[in-house]
């Protein structure tokens, strides 16, 4: 009974959610598009001409937002390159290259390299989240692992001044994730979009400018302060 009531409450909140209604009106596949929109408007991340990769892109609302930022009307071409990667299928989006598979696999990376044609990436986006087990320590470890994968991907593919945006949760190893970001990026900010549900501990980290090996070796007291 309690589970049924919980499901009904969630469904009621979802149907009446203003961002769900706005997504339906504006043609976005999910309300998550407005989270990225708020982050982008605050941090000025996405610009025409860029090469952008969306990790865990399905169902595609983040890719849709980026695609609109890189051009005008759908189907009219874009000023830049937008690539989505996911282990789940994604319905096609005009002008967006989609690669199905695990981005750690050689096959997927070969497809990515073919699209990039030797170019580095300006922005890496990750809205990835683990399947929750309900065990706090296990869920925190899974979340940290996804963040580590996004950072590792960025180390190989991101331009030195590039930007990484990841989703995380304040109750899932957040302090350790922030420390990891501080080690890898010159500027780190946390953003809680209004489009994130009030009850959710969801928060987004924005890392800007990969540190060089020399910068990583700075002593703790000499490191740039966390900019949040």
- Domain count along the chain: 1
Specify the pTM. 0.88
Q: Determine, yes or no, domain membership for 77.
A: yes
Q: Which domain holds residue 104?
A: 30-222
Task: State how far the Cα of 171 lies from the Cα of 168, in Å rounded to an integer.
Answer: 9
Q: Determine, yes or no, domain membership for 25.
A: no
Q: Determine, yes or no, domain membership for 228.
A: no
Q: CB 213: neighbour CB atoms within 10 A?
A: 6
Q: Determine, yes or no, domain membership for 125.
A: yes
Catalytic residues: 167
Q: Determine, yes or no, domain membership for 2.
A: no
Written as tens digits, the pLDDT of the chain (228 aa) is 444 554 555 454 556 788 999 999 999 999 999 999 999 999 999 999 999 999 999 999 999 999 999 985 555 689 999 999 999 999 999 999 999 999 999 999 999 999 999 999 999 999 998 888 888 889 899 999 999 999 999 999 999 999 999 999 998 889 999 999 999 999 999 999 999 987 889 999 999 999 999 888 873 445 545 454
Q: Angle at CA 30, nearest 5°, toward 208 and 139?
A: 65
Q: Determine, yes or no, domain membership for 19.
A: no
- Going by the annotation, the residues of the binding site are 60, 62, 86, 102, 127
Strand partners, 172: none
Q: Determine, yes or no, domain membership for 9.
A: no
Q: Which two tokens stand for residue 151?
A: 């950072």
- Going by the annotation, the residues of the binding site for S-adenosyl-L-methionine are 60, 62, 86, 102, 127
Q: Find the helix or strand (DSSP H, E) in which 177 lies.
A: helix 174-184
Task: Give the single-character DSSP code of 189.
Answer: E
Q: Determine, yes or no, domain membership for 74.
A: yes
Assign residue 77 the CATH number of its domain. 3.40.50.150
């Amino acid at each position: 009974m309690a589970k049924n009531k919980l499901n009904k409450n969630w469904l009621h909140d979802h149907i009446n959610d203003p961002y769900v209604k706005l997504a339906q009106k504006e043609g976005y596949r999910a309300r998550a598009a407005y989270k990225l929109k708020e982050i982008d408007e605050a941090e000025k991340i996405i610009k025409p001409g860029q090469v952008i990769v969306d990790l865990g892109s399905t169902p595609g609302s983040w890719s849709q937002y980026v695609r609109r930022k890189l051009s005008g009307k759908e189907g009219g071409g874009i000023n830049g390159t937008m690539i989505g990667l996911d282990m789940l299928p994604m319905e096609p989006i005009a002008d967006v290259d989609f690669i199905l598979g695990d981005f750690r696999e050689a096959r997927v990376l070969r497809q990515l390299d073919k699209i990039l044609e030797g170019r580095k990436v300006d922005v890496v986006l990750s809205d990835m989240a683990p399947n929750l087990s309900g065990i706090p320590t296990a869920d925190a470890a899974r979340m940290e692992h996804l963040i580590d994968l996004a950072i590792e991907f960025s180390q190989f593919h991101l331009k030195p001044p590039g930007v990484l945006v990841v989703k995380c949760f304040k109750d899932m190893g957040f302090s350790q994730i922030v420390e990891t970001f501080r080690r890898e990026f010159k500027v780190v900010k946390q953003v809680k979009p209004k489009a994130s549900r009030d009850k959710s501990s969801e928060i987004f980290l924005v890392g800007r400018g990969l540190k060089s090996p020399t910068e990583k070796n700075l002593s703790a007291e000499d490191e740039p302060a966390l900019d949040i």
